[in-house]
Amino acid sequence: MLKVRKLKKSDWDFLPKWWEKYDQEPWLYKENFKDILPNLGFLVYNEKQPIAAMWLGLTNSNSALPTAAISDPKYRGKDRKDAISFLLSHVTNHAKELGFKYAFAWAQEGYMLDYYLKLDYEKFENPSYELIKKL
Instruction: State how many domains the chain has.
Output: 1
Q: Does residue 67 fall inside a structural domain?
A: yes
Can you give the pTM of this predicted structure? 0.90
> What are 119-128's pLDDT values in tens digits?
999 999 988 8
- Gap between the Cα atoms of 6 and 41, Å rounded: 6
Q: Does residue 74 fall inside a structural domain?
A: yes
> What are 101-135's pLDDT values in tens digits?
999 999 988 889 999 999 999 999 988 887 777 77
Q: Does residue 128 fall inside a structural domain?
A: no
Average pLDDT over residues 40-63: 96
Give the model's pLDDT for residue 27. Answer: 57
Task: State the CATH number of the domain containing residue 89.
Answer: 3.40.630.30
Residue 91 pLDDT > 90:
yes
Give the model's pLDDT for residue 24. Answer: 64
